[in-house]
Structure 1
């Protein structure tokens, strides 16, 4: 058995801000994917994944006892498949901010949830919010606190526009221009990041009034503008606002940016060759880059591994 593929995602805009009701834009990233698999595999990786799935299943059993109206699963089939060695066969790097746990949550829901919301349905706002709530509860097993957006994106495999906590919708994004000189790219930090400690730092910072004001008056303001600019295809404004967002991040989110990247982060802002921003919670994993001239950015960052996500 090999289940359907679930893809990684990239939150282009909205990291941390969506906790405080900023806009957000999440897109599927088909370069990485994962699927549930039963093939009698006995690799160490498959065994570790199987054990992790058993722990996750125990968590889901508790969750369905506490919130029976939220979601129910076919635990008989799930337990049987786990005994047969089922694991999540995935190319999605863990701790990189591209939704490895989200794809796993989506795969389990897709195969074992009873009376599930289908991808083929007319996805009303109510259904999307319902999915987000179910997935937030499921994914909390991995992060302690989850918005549920990564699994929604992985499950539906379509771009998701977050207007606010209680208002999300499927959206279209401007068509890529494969020959375009501008690009959104991923920079590999070479460090595995952990979501929970980064979110903890952010929650601590929220106790500070100055930080809360900065978040509202700068971070959320520029995040909202970037989402609107990107969807409207207004590249001039997009790069102006991304530059501001990059500045706010290096000034106020330093703990989330690995120290060895502080200098190249600032260099991008000074030269305008590229602007860097957090990809997910930060602390390692991927860093997201925006540039109007990819060749120039690639030259400036030639010591790092880059992957193009989207061409302007």
Structure 2
């Protein structure tokens, strides 16, 4: 299933994509695409619906973040061998963990705001997973049962904030609009093997990232198990699992985002995002 949220920012409604690519409303079936409805029984209830009986969303409706009320937005850095090489960084012995502020979350096609004093704003197409039930001290073998599904994430990063303003990456990762997720949450049964998905990203029509989750070092099941040793993971938590090569920082010379730039990115089976960079001074 492809679950999504649509409508005005802050007032999104739950929805599902039908076989014709049309958005059907799940209002009255679930209150939101959020933590407490991501368990197996709730997903099975939705799966059993006759989608043709559900109302269609208005044409041209905005697509919101595919998950609402996210409690934790966790990211894994340097998790692709070829990306670590282009960044000139050594692969970590254990997952490199940081967080993005949940206030960074936005819709997949919303504008990305370039922050004040930003000089090195970068892109990262990433495979994100969403937790479906509470996970605490789970094994790697058990972990897949705790993953409700997967989605596209653009881990937008301000490299000068991230790498030149002290030792904490969070400052360059959590700015408003730096976490587009969606367009939809694709349930695990429909994704199949998450470690064999093509991934790409273009800026102004030029393809910079053209990779695959095959080069991921720490796989989704291991990541869930690993994180659950340090914190409980709650339904609706989002974990973004790293990026393949081709980020702006890795270009020679580096290439960074500016107001007016157009970004498109996608992951096989998970959909496409389209964003425009907007200067903060242009935001009403």
Which interval holds the TM-score relative to the shorter structure? under 0.3
Q: Give TM-score, length-normalised by structure 1.
A: 0.25
Q: Give TM-score, length-normalised by structure 2.
A: 0.27
**In proportion to residue count, which structure has more strand?**
2
